Structure 1
Amino acid sequence: MPDVVHLPSDLLLRVTPPRAARELLARAPGASGGADPLAAAVVLVQAPAGFGKTSLLAQWRLDCIARGAAVAWLSSQGIGSSQRLLQALALSVRQGAGRPTFGHVLLEGLVPPGLEGFTAWLVEVAQAAFELVLMVDEADRLPDGLREDLAYLVRNAPPNLRCVIASRPDVDLGLADLVVYGQCQVIGAAQLRFTLEETLQLAQRRLGTRFHRDRCARLHEQMEGWPLGIQMALALAAGGQPLDFNGPAAGAGGLHATLMGQLLGKLSPQDLDFVTRTSLLQHLHPSLCEALLPGEQAGERLERLARDTPVFVAGELQGWYRLHSLAREVVREGFDALPAEGRSALHRRASTWLAAQGLLEVAARQSLAAGEPDKAYDLAERSLYDTMLAQGRQSAVMEWLAQVPIAELHRRPRLMLALAWSLAISERHDEARRIVDALLAGAAGDEPLQCECALILAGAALFADDPDRFAALHDPWADRPPLHAPRLLQVHANRSALRALLAGDPALARLRQQAAPRQDAAHLDRWGEVIIALSYAWEGQPLMVEQLLAPCLATADNDLGRRSRFAAMVAATLAASRWELGRADSAAALLADRLDVLERSGLPEAVLLGFRTLARIAVAAGQEQQALDLLGALQAVGRARALARLELASLSEQLRLHARHYRAATCRELLQAMEALHASLMAAGEPPGPLWQQGVQGWLLLARAYAAIAAREWRAASAWLAEAEALAAQRRQGRERLEAMALHAWALDRCGERTLPLVQEVQELAQAAGLARLFEDAHPDLAAWMRSLAGSGPQHESAAAPMPTAAPASALPRAAASAALTPKERRVLELLARSLSNKEIALALQVGEETVKWHLKNLFAKLDAGTRKQVVDRARILGLLSG
Structure 2
Amino acid sequence: MNEAFAYEIDQEAGHRRPCAAPPRAQSEALAIRGLHVIPPASVYVDEVLSLGRVGRERPAVSGARIHLDLARAWQMLIRLQAAEALLTAQRIEGRVGPLPGPIAVAVRCEIAAVRAAALMLQDDAGAALAAALSALRLDAATPTAHVALTVCRCVYWRLGDPESFYAVERREPGEPGKQPGRLRAITTMFDLALDAAIEFGQMHFNAARLLAGDALDVARRFGVGPAAIDALPACVMAQVLYEEGRVDESEALVAARLPGIRQGGAIEGAVLGYGLLARIAANRRQPGQGLLLLAEADALGIKRNWPRLRAASLAQQVEMHVAADRIDQAALCAQRLAVLAGQCGATSSSARFEIARYHVLAQARLALAHEHFQASAQALSKASAQAFPQAPIQVSATVDLAALRQLHCNTVLRRDRYGAVTIALLLVEALLVAGLRDEAIEALVTLLKQAASVGLHQTLVDCSERVAKLIDGIVRGAIVPAGDVRELLPYAGALMSRRRRGAADAQAGRDSDTSRDTAPDRVQPVAAMCLSERERAIIGLMGRGLTNKQIAIRLCIAPETVKSHAKHLYTKLSVKNRIEAVTLASRLGLVRLSGSGID
- Normalised by the length of structure 1, the TM-score is 0.43
Mapped contact 1:702–1:724 kept (Cα < 8 A):
no
After superposition, the Cα gap between the structure-2 partners of 1:681 and 1:497, relative to the gap in structure 1 and judged at 3 Å, is closer
What do residues 629-688 of structure 1 show as CA deviations (whole Å, max 9, x unaligned)? 111111111112121221111111100112223433222211111112332444xxxx22
Structure 2 CA distance, aligned partners of 1:784 and 1:415? 64
1:91-490 to 2 correspondences below 5 Å: 383=6, 411-424=64-77, 426-444=79-97, 445=101, 446-477=104-135, 480-485=137-142, 487-490=143-146
What do residues 272-311 of structure 1 show as CA deviations (whole Å, max 9, x unaligned)? xxxxxxxxxxxxxxxxxxxxxxxxxxxxxxxxxxxxxxxx
Mapped contact 1:557–1:567 kept (Cα < 8 A):
no
Secondary structure of 1:500's partner?
A: helix
After superposition, the Cα gap between the structure-2 partners of 1:597 and 1:605, relative to the gap in structure 1 and judged at 3 Å, is same
After TM superposition, what 4+ stretches of structure 1 lie above 4 angstroms from structure 2? 378-390, 408-412, 515-518
Measured after TM superposition, the shift of residue 592 of structure 1 is 3.1
Structure 1 CA distance, aligned partners of 2:167 and 2:114? 23
Aligned AA for 1:496?
C
Q: For 2:155, which of 481, 490, 499 is the aligned residue? A: 499
Q: For 1:724, which of 407, 428, 437 is the aligned residue? A: 407
Q: For 1:679, which of 333, 337, 342 is the aligned residue? A: 342
1:717-866 to 2 correspondences below 5 Å: 717-753=400-436, 754-755=438-439, 756-790=441-475, 792-793=480-481, 794-795=484-485, 797=487, 800-803=491-494
Mapped contact 1:459–1:470 kept (Cα < 8 A):
yes
RMSD: 3.2
Determine if the alignment matches structure 1 residue 526 to structure 2 residue 189.
yes
After superposition, the Cα gap between the structure-2 partners of 1:677 and 1:715, relative to the gap in structure 1 and judged at 3 Å, is closer
Measured after TM superposition, the shift of residue 740 of structure 1 is 1.5
After superposition, the Cα gap between the structure-2 partners of 1:708 and 1:780, relative to the gap in structure 1 and judged at 3 Å, is same
Measured after TM superposition, the shift of residue 442 of structure 1 is 3.4
Higher helix share: 2
- Give structure 1 stretches of 5+ with no counterpart: 1-377, 391-407, 809-883
After superposition, the Cα gap between the structure-2 partners of 1:498 and 1:427, relative to the gap in structure 1 and judged at 3 Å, is closer
Measured after TM superposition, the shift of residue 733 of structure 1 is 1.9
After superposition, the Cα gap between the structure-2 partners of 1:456 and 1:382, relative to the gap in structure 1 and judged at 3 Å, is closer
- Normalised by the length of structure 2, the TM-score is 0.61
Aligned AA for 1:747?
A
Secondary structure of 1:711's partner?
A: helix
After superposition, the Cα gap between the structure-2 partners of 1:380 and 1:715, relative to the gap in structure 1 and judged at 3 Å, is closer
Mapped contact 1:510–1:535 kept (Cα < 8 A):
no
Determine if the alignment matches structure 1 residue 539 to structure 2 residue 202.
yes
Secondary structure of 1:802's partner?
A: helix
What do residues 178-204 of structure 1 show as CA deviations (whole Å, max 9, x unaligned)? xxxxxxxxxxxxxxxxxxxxxxxxxxx
Q: Which has the larger radius of gyration?
A: 1
1:619-658 to 2 correspondences below 5 Å: 619-658=282-321
After superposition, the Cα gap between the structure-2 partners of 1:542 and 1:426, relative to the gap in structure 1 and judged at 3 Å, is farther
Aligned AA for 1:467?
A
Counterpart residue number, 2:366: 707
Structure 2 CA distance, aligned partners of 1:694 and 1:732? 14
Measured after TM superposition, the shift of residue 381 of structure 1 is 7.2
Comparing 663-672 and 503-512, the one that deviates more: 503-512
Mapped contact 2:196–2:233 kept (Cα < 8 A):
no
Measured after TM superposition, the shift of residue 518 of structure 1 is 5.1
Structure 2 CA distance, aligned partners of 1:717 and 1:608? 26
Structure 2 CA distance, aligned partners of 1:532 and 1:623? 33
Aligned AA for 1:415?
L
Mapped contact 1:662–1:709 kept (Cα < 8 A):
no
Aligned AA for 2:311?
L
Determine if the alignment matches structure 1 residue 578 to structure 2 residue 241.
yes
Measured after TM superposition, the shift of residue 703 of structure 1 is 0.9
After superposition, the Cα gap between the structure-2 partners of 1:484 and 1:721, relative to the gap in structure 1 and judged at 3 Å, is closer
Mapped contact 1:571–1:591 kept (Cα < 8 A):
yes
What do residues 682-708 of structure 1 show as CA deviations (whole Å, max 9, x unaligned)? 4xxxx2233321221111111110111
After superposition, the Cα gap between the structure-2 partners of 1:508 and 1:425, relative to the gap in structure 1 and judged at 3 Å, is same
- Give structure 2 stretches of 5+ with no counterpart: 14-60, 372-395, 505-599
Mapped contact 1:701–1:721 kept (Cα < 8 A):
yes
Aligned AA for 2:249?
S
Aligned AA for 2:474?
L
Structure 2 CA distance, aligned partners of 1:610 and 1:766? 23
Determine if the alignment matches structure 1 residue 599 to structure 2 residue 295.
no
Measured after TM superposition, the shift of residue 386 of structure 1 is 6.3
Measured after TM superposition, the shift of residue 802 of structure 1 is 2.2
What do residues 288-342 of structure 1 show as CA deviations (whole Å, max 9, x unaligned)? xxxxxxxxxxxxxxxxxxxxxxxxxxxxxxxxxxxxxxxxxxxxxxxxxxxxxxx
Measured after TM superposition, the shift of residue 507 of structure 1 is 4.3
Mapped contact 1:572–1:607 kept (Cα < 8 A):
no
What do residues 202-235 of structure 1 show as CA deviations (whole Å, max 9, x unaligned)? xxxxxxxxxxxxxxxxxxxxxxxxxxxxxxxxxx
What do residues 586-607 of structure 1 show as CA deviations (whole Å, max 9, x unaligned)? 1112123320101221110111
Secondary structure of 1:716's partner?
A: coil
Measured after TM superposition, the shift of residue 716 of structure 1 is 1.6
Aligned pairs, number: 406
Structure 2 CA distance, aligned partners of 1:382 and 1:668? 53
Secondary structure of 2:419's partner?
A: helix
Mapped contact 2:4–2:74 kept (Cα < 8 A):
no
Aligned AA for 1:428?
Q
Measured after TM superposition, the shift of residue 612 of structure 1 is 1.0
Measured after TM superposition, the shift of residue 461 of structure 1 is 0.8
Structure 2 CA distance, aligned partners of 1:550 and 1:452? 30
Aligned AA for 2:162?
P
Mapped contact 1:497–1:512 kept (Cα < 8 A):
yes
Comparing 763-772 and 650-659, the one that deviates more: 763-772
Mapped contact 1:427–1:464 kept (Cα < 8 A):
no
Mapped contact 1:568–1:598 kept (Cα < 8 A):
yes
Structure 1 CA distance, aligned partners of 2:5 and 2:147? 20
Structure 1 CA distance, aligned partners of 2:269 and 2:186? 18
